[in-house]
Amino acid sequence: MSRPTPDLQDRYGAASRVRRPLLVAGVVALAVVGVAWALWAGVAHSRPEVSSQLVGYQVVGQHAATARFTVARRDGDVRASCLLRAYAVDHSVVGELPVPVASGAPTRSVVATVRTERRATAVELVGCSAPGQEERR
């Protein structure tokens, strides 16, 4: 790097010799913290206590719809709570059903019937949660 001319040094001052190493050290420290956080977040959220998937649904009548879904738990002793939601043709919610899933096999198929206030056109599995996992999956 070339040295600034004396006129520039008089006008702007000479650059500090410790400024650049401190800047590099700060950037490296932030990068290390960022990578550590990303690894932690990936590991913590990669394998939830419980996850679920809607297999299918059938509108049974004017006031009911049946849904079939699977629930996968890390441990069979975990009690899960799943939420089904039924929608009408105008996309309004016409029924909702919390479904408790007792301990048992780690992966199981569940069939539940949602009572509706009028004819449903779709059923959504909002997801399942477990103690220690508030977010429904």
What is the tens place of the pLDDT at every residue in 23-37?
A: 888 999 999 999 999
Q: How far apart are CA 9 and CA 15, in angstroms?
A: 9
Q: Is the per-residue pLDDT at 2 higher than 70?
A: no
pLDDT digits (tens, 9 = 90+) for 57-103: 999 999 999 999 999 988 888 889 999 999 999 999 999 999 999 88
Q: What is the mean pLDDT of the chain?
A: 88
Q: What is the pLDDT of residue 13?
A: 74
What's the pTM?
Answer: 0.69
Q: Is 125 exposed, middle or buried (0-12, 13-18, 19+ CB in 10 A)?
A: buried
CATH assignment of 50-129, given 1.10.40, 1.10.530, 1.10.357, 2.60.40? Answer: 2.60.40
